[in-house]
Chain A
Amino acid sequence: MSELKSYLVDLLKKGKRLDGRNILDVRAPFTIEYGVSSTAEGSAQVTLGDTVVMAGVKVEVGTPYPDQPDQGSIMVGAELIPLSSPRFEAGPPTIEAIELARVVDRGIRESKAIDFKKLCIEVGEKAWIIIIDIVVMNDDGGLFDASSLAVLAALKDMKFPEYADGKIEYKKKTDKGMELEKEPIAVTVFKVGPHLIVDPTREEEEVADARLTITTTVDGTICALQKGGDYPLLEEEISQMIDIAIEKAKVLREAL
């Protein structure tokens, strides 16, 4: 066990974290800022402690998939840009960025937050494609939770542009927003030794044994899961992690 890890485990035994907060506290400051990019159709920035994540939505019109001719689609990308941390390098997305985008995408998709049929413009011919980009502006851990919240906030901030004669008038935004059927919130619970924590700093995240990202809707329905980390989890731990995630999702939801 690394020195930092044994120090953290000792602290957790006393119910405290490296930065002095209680074991299951979310970091402060915790803020959501809407409309951070005027060129995006919707945007938001989430600050969780020293972690800052921006999300922006752009729309395009394309042909629906042949097997879903009456539906539009979404696409989620994530960029861990070198501006945000000395850990990140320029280049194609790393597995860390790909996993981040996919976990956020799954939460939106599987909760059925967006009714894809409402994105259809003309069956079999034209439908909206919603492209959401996550950009980490400063990385201090907890990227899954901050990103999923930033994406949800950016979707809430969104206004469709005008579409006429097969052309999108990006500069003319309409009053039509994105109707969200559900609001999925991801909470990642980390296991450090025998302890469970949420919202880790990068330092804490580096020494964690395992993590479980649990995305839930307001009624507590679980719509996406992702286990990570090198070590396994016991059923009992998974059960506790879900309880914690549902509880913490309420705290995050309040800020929306």
Chain B
Amino acid sequence: MSYTQRHDGRAPDELRAMEAKVGVIKNADGSAFFKIGNTSAYAAVYGPRNLYPKFLQNPDKGILRCSYNMLPFSGSGERIRPGQNRRAKEISMVTEKSLLSVLNLDEYPNAVVDVFIELPQTEAGSRCAGICAASMALADAGLLMKDLVSAVSVGRVGDMLVVDLDYAEEAYEDGPVADIPVAMTHNSSEVTLLQMDGEISKDMLMKAVEMGKAACEKIYEVQKEALKKKYEGAE
């Protein structure tokens, strides 16, 4: 049986419900919360601040350091042991790369901008939710940015192309699945994160990325509204 109707009734290009808020962690220089479906992420930015040990410093410009972490109770199965596993380390690295190109850290030699992403609950799309929250938190921290980054996972479930796959779709067993997290910048429409697991033709992939671009525009609107809300002083 082929997948022609999404199991939760969403249209192929429909995202799960989103929620975004800025300035949620008081101690941080910038922070944000982003929720999509049952996946939620907090991001806090500290810095630019001094970087130690000193050998990590770059005298030419500041460095960006991201950390992605699922809280122990945030998985749908057993408790997750604290401490970064290999998966979390890889996601931290790709998150860093997805955000780096919109920042200008030339004015902060020897300094670091730390971004901490913590997820209290996850149900697919957690790295993308983390990137969305982190991008807003960086803006909230008042860092010079060329653009905002939005991210979503797109892909195929059976022969259907969809955006924002949920857990059941990622685990679809009656046909091929491809899960493709993408991150994009708003103004320049550049791709800053691209990963995939599964199988897909070039043609389908390009169509899926095109859908990701449209979905990222919707996410961008939610991010922008949250940022504006804080600075309008409205609740």
Stretch among B54-62, B115-123, B157-165, B196-204 lining the A interface: B115-123
Determine whether A40 belongs to the interface, using a CB cutoff of 8 Å to chain B: yes
A57 and B73 contacting across the interface, CB-CB below 8 Å:
yes
| A170-B73 in contact given A81-B118, A138-B26 (Cβ < 8 Å) | no
Task: List residues of chain B with CB within 8 A of the CB of A133.
Answer: 71-73, 79, 82
Task: List residues of chain B with CB within 8 A of the CB of A86.
Answer: 27, 46, 49
Determine whether A92 belongs to the interface, using a CB cutoff of 8 Å to chain B: yes
B67 and A39 contacting across the interface, CB-CB below 8 Å:
no
CB of A30 to closest CB in B, whole Å: 15
Contact among B49, B76, B117, B118 for A171, CB-based, below 8 A: B76
Q: Report the Cα distance A61→B171, complex, angstroms.
A: 25
Q: Report the Cα distance A126→B75, complex, angstroms.
A: 23
Q: Is the interface of B mostly helix, strand, loop or mixed?
A: loop
Q: Report the Cα distance A54→B122, complex, angstroms.
A: 16
Determine whether A90 belongs to the interface, using a CB cutoff of 8 Å to chain B: yes
Number of interface residues of A (CB under 8 A): 34
Determine whether A82 belongs to the interface, using a CB cutoff of 8 Å to chain B: yes
B73 and A77 contacting across the interface, CB-CB below 8 Å:
no
B74 and A82 contacting across the interface, CB-CB below 8 Å:
no
B26 and A36 contacting across the interface, CB-CB below 8 Å:
no
Query: What are 19 A-B interface contacts by the 8 Å CB criterion?
Result: A37-B71, A37-B74, A39-B73, A39-B76, A39-B122, A40-B121, A50-B26, A54-B120, A56-B72, A56-B74, A58-B72, A82-B67, A83-B25, A133-B71, A133-B73, A133-B82, A140-B26, A168-B78, A170-B77
Q: Which residues of A contact B (CB under 8 A)?
A: 36-41, 43, 50, 54, 56-58, 60, 77, 79, 81-86, 90, 92-93, 131, 133, 135, 137-140, 168, 170-171
